[in-house]
Structure 1
């Protein structure tokens, strides 16, 4: 039984010297992160496809049971809108090949303008994807969450293809006005859609955005602790990514989420022990 947890990145200036060693080379940052969490969002691939050598270094820093949810590049999803981007997609998938089984899913995040009228385009794109990988889709158009016909239309495309629908739960963020600069930034940039908790596959993926105040973040994830517990009891293998507006404590909070679920599901595999923030010495 496995619950994967992680964050939106594996390096953050405010983690250094608090959770992770203060002085880490780029080639060691992911390794240190992976001692805290066993999954990570691959958001940087949206902006540029990394070199194969870079991806090989990611594989070298993680065990085979570590999980990446890797975002497809912006030219594929936002510029070409899933049409005529075969070369960009092929180059991306080739670059990711060294990760092997570490790729939990390739994440197709679609723009907010991608509406129910575009579902046929998505269906054609999914049919053309190479076999042997798992895929997950995140939509942000409100109709998919508020119009039952639109919701069912999308599910009828995703579910038979074994493609997960990734919810980004921002409801706690928008439950009250922002109280910090980071929250004000999130208030203007994050999607404002209802919470969705239905899984389509055996490996559901959840993105949860809390608040800068820890108690509000923890209170807001209570429904997810309950839902993830149900999924585990059903034999599913969920992955949950914990975000906060400034992400300063997201690394610790992801582990706390795992601990809260494990308190109710004691047979759940534990996370690894974190690497100390500084090497231990005799003097």
Structure 2
């Protein structure tokens, strides 16, 4: 039984950071024990770069790595043998740290495309876990579409990743970061059903930490229930500016732990030495 928590990135201009970029992931991994691999959506990293990620993290650290956009958005899961092979080879040094490969699909990927997803999942190697994020409204509002996707994912032992933006869209934005997110983030109904023993949740709060905490209350209870059921969830905490995301992720872990006393605490973060003039 373990709860992993993390953020959308491992470095941010507002976070305390070591002097050298090579140490930033190691420092982040002392705050949180999971991270979203969003950068892999834009380009497959060099294998040596991935090896450096592995060297900075414990084998229990979780990377949830997004498949490249050429696979999911440009070719829409069809004729993707070469870019997929290149991606799988690049991330091999992570070993068990590659917790799940994240298949984020565009909003235009509809129930009519689910057979394509099923064929794609059926061709993937069993050496990895897979998790799918969809953004077409029908998957959240139409029972037949929901059932079709759930059956397809279950057949492949794949998880469905919800991106909960409901708390964010409760009231209008109040900052530049919130206004930017207001135009870019998906507005989808809440989904909180786990299909596997390792559910993954993405939660978007507000720049006001108190409102972020207020909005995640239901996820604290859901996550605690999953842990009692023997599942090992991973929860990623986002805010529009992400300035306090690591602290918030740790707070979420603490709130769940207060309800599940057998859950181990996160380790103490590595202190960052203050910058000096000389």
Q: Same fold (TM over 0.5)?
A: yes
Asked whether 1:27 is paired with 2:22, we answer: yes
Instruction: State the SS of the aligned residue for 1:34.
Output: helix
Residue of structure 2 in register with 1:12 after alignment: 12
Shift of 1:12: 0.2
Shift of 1:277: 2.4
Return the match for 1:108 from 103, 118, 132. 103
Return the match for 2:203 from 201, 208, 222. 208
Asked whether 1:140 is paired with 2:138, we answer: no
Asked whether 1:44 is paired with 2:39, we answer: yes
Asked whether 1:66 is paired with 2:61, we answer: yes
Structure 2: 5+ residue stretches without partners: none
Return the match for 1:233 from 228, 232, 249. 228
Cα separation, 2, equivalents of 1:153 and 1:92: 28
Per the normalisation by structure 2, the TM-score is: 0.97
Residue of structure 1 in register with 2:146 after alignment: 151
Residue by residue over 1:144-179, the C-alpha shift from the partner in whole angstroms, topping out at 9 and shown as x without a partner, is 001111000000100121100000000011111001
Return the match for 2:112 from 99, 117, 121. 117
Cα separation, 1, equivalents of 2:176 and 2:137: 26
Instruction: State the SS of the aligned residue for 2:30.
Output: coil
Residue by residue over 1:58-84, the C-alpha shift from the partner in whole angstroms, topping out at 9 and shown as x without a partner, is 000001010100000000000000000
Cα separation, 2, equivalents of 1:104 and 1:219: 29
Residue of structure 2 in register with 1:99 after alignment: 94
CA RMSD of aligned residues (A): 1.0
Q: How many residues align?
A: 275
Cα separation, 1, equivalents of 2:59 and 2:210: 34
Cα separation, 2, equivalents of 1:147 and 1:178: 29
